[in-house]
């Protein structure tokens, strides 16, 4: 269960769990877990390009709780509640600000929107954190979504399994196995230090369900912005049957500048990682374009278009090669 580690600092919100406390191993001013949760005076520094809605959720919300940015999928933001308060969160301006869970009427409106928009192939539970909901409420939502024929995939984006692994109980595991829709669980984890024996046991239990397990991470200065940290994180995840899915470039949320790594450094890190670990371990390095224009991959470019249907290809060691594509037929 969530519990306070320290008192609020200058009214800064603070919420962490006993699981997080157990994974803080060093001085809190340098510990890669502590830095994710403990308030810093640097959060008061707001840069001009930072925005309370950095990825444009509001401009793509046709009904409350729904974000419909891409034609074939929607976010279902069922709650603003989260068991923790991440200092770099791109929704830090909404998390825990009083909305709580959507009302029954708001849930009805959201489900009706998904039902009536037949192009929707995938629903992504987001928040807050969807796994703060009770098993009863989650099962009720999944039962309603199960009846929508054009909907094929249900995805959960969640921090809960990493910060409160006890939440992944037998009842929850049984619920995941009850439904015919493809279920994907994307767990937010930023450093291998977060993955202790409790988390490995939780991964093992989840891996025996029908769900596909993925991870998402954020590239964070002084936390995981080095080869060793990223290599250990992604290798540990894949060793525990969790496929690294996204490495997010940090969104421009207010007061997060002290966590920000340059895109150039991020590209270099991904390039170096390709030389050290299997492609199975590598996530997509992505940027959510400010203003609500969606995610794009921002990896270093390994191919350059030349004249006469040929390309300059850079290998994983940085050496250049000419690839002749003149015999390819597009018609």
Task: Dump pLDDT digits (tens) for 220-260.
Answer: 999 999 999 999 999 999 999 999 999 999 988 888 999 99
Q: In angstroms, rounded to a whole number, what is the distance separating the alpha carbons of residues 101 and 54? A: 22
Contact 96, 82 (CB under 8 A): yes
pLDDT for position 3: 44
48 and 178 together in one domain: yes
The tally of domains found in the chain comes to 2
Q: In angstroms, rounded to a whole number, what is the distance separating the alpha carbons of residues 327 and 225? A: 42
Q: Which residues contact 145 (CB under 8 A, 6 or more apart)?
A: 111, 114, 123, 151, 154, 181
Q: In angstroms, rounded to a whole number, what is the distance separating the alpha carbons of residues 223 and 229? A: 8
217 and 249 together in one domain: yes
The closest alpha carbon to 161, from 305, 17, 304, 307, belongs to 17
pLDDT for position 4: 41
57 and 89 together in one domain: yes
Angle 104-116/135-146 helices, nearest 10 degrees?
30
For residue 324, what are the domain limits?
302-331
pLDDT for position 226: 97
Contact 190, 218 (CB under 8 A): yes
185 and 217 together in one domain: yes
330 and 286 together in one domain: no
Is this model's pTM higher than 0.85 or not?
Answer: yes
Q: In angstroms, rounded to a whole number, what is the distance separating the alpha carbons of residues 133 and 251? A: 26
Q: What is the CATH number of the domain that holds 230?
A: 3.20.20.70
Residue 324 phi/psi, 5-degree rounding, is -90, 120
The closest alpha carbon to 280, from 218, 235, 318, 247, belongs to 235
From the first residue on, what is the mean pLDDT of each consecutive set of 10 residues in the chain (331 residues)? 42 84 91 94 85 76 93 94 88 68 96 98 94 97 98 98 98 97 98 98 98 98 97 98 96 90 93 93 92 82 80 80 74 52
pLDDT for position 46: 85
56 and 188 together in one domain: yes
Q: Which residues contact 78 (CB under 8 A, 6 or more apart)?
A: 65, 101, 102, 107, 125, 126, 127, 128, 130, 133, 141
pLDDT for position 7: 40
194 and 219 together in one domain: yes
287 and 312 together in one domain: no
Residue 6 phi/psi, 5-degree rounding, is -135, 165
pLDDT for position 91: 75
pLDDT for position 10: 44
221 and 194 together in one domain: yes
Q: What is the DSSP string of 282-299?
A: PPEEEEE-TTT--EEE-P
């Amino acid at each position: 269960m969530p519990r306070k580690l320290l008192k609020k600092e200058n009214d800064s919100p603070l919420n962490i769990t006993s699981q997080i406390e157990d994974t803080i191993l060093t001085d809190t001013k340098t510990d890669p877990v502590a830095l994710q949760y403990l308030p810093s005076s640097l959060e008061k520094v707001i840069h001009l390009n930072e925005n309370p809605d950095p990825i444009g959720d509001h401009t793509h919300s046709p009904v409350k709780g729904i974000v419909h940015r891409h034609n074939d999928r929607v976010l279902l933001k069922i709650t603003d509640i989260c068991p923790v308060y991440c200092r770099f969160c791109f929704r830090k301006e909404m998390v825990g600000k009083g909305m709580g869970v959507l009302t029954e009427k708001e849930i009805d409106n959201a489900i009706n929107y998904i039902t009536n928009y037949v192009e929707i192939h995938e629903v992504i539970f987001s928040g807050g954190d969807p796994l703060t909901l009770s098993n009863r409420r989650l099962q009720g939502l999944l039962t309603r979504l199960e009846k929508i024929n054009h909907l094929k995939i249900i995805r959960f984006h969640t921090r809960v399994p990493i910060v409160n692994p006890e939440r992944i109980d037998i009842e929850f595991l049984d619920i995941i196995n009850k439904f015919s829709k493809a279920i994907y669980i994307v767990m937010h984890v930023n450093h291998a230090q977060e993955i202790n024996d409790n988390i490995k046991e939780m991964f093992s239990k989840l891996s025996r369900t029908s769900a596909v397990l993925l991870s998402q991470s954020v590239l964070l200065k002084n936390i995981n912005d080095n080869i060793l940290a990223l290599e250990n994180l992604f290798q540990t995840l894949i060793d525990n049957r969790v496929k690294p899915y996204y490495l997010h470039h940090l969104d421009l949320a207010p007061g997060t500048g002290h966590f920000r790594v340059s895109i150039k450094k991020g590209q270099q890190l991904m390039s170096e990682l390709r030389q050290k670990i299997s492609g199975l371990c590598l996530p997509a390095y992505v940027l959510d374009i400010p203003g609500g224009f969606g995610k794009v991959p921002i990896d270093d470019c390994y191919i350059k278009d030349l004249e006469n249907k040929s390309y300059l290809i850079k290998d994983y060691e940085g050496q250049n090669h000419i690839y002749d594509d003149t015999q390819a037929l597009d018609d």
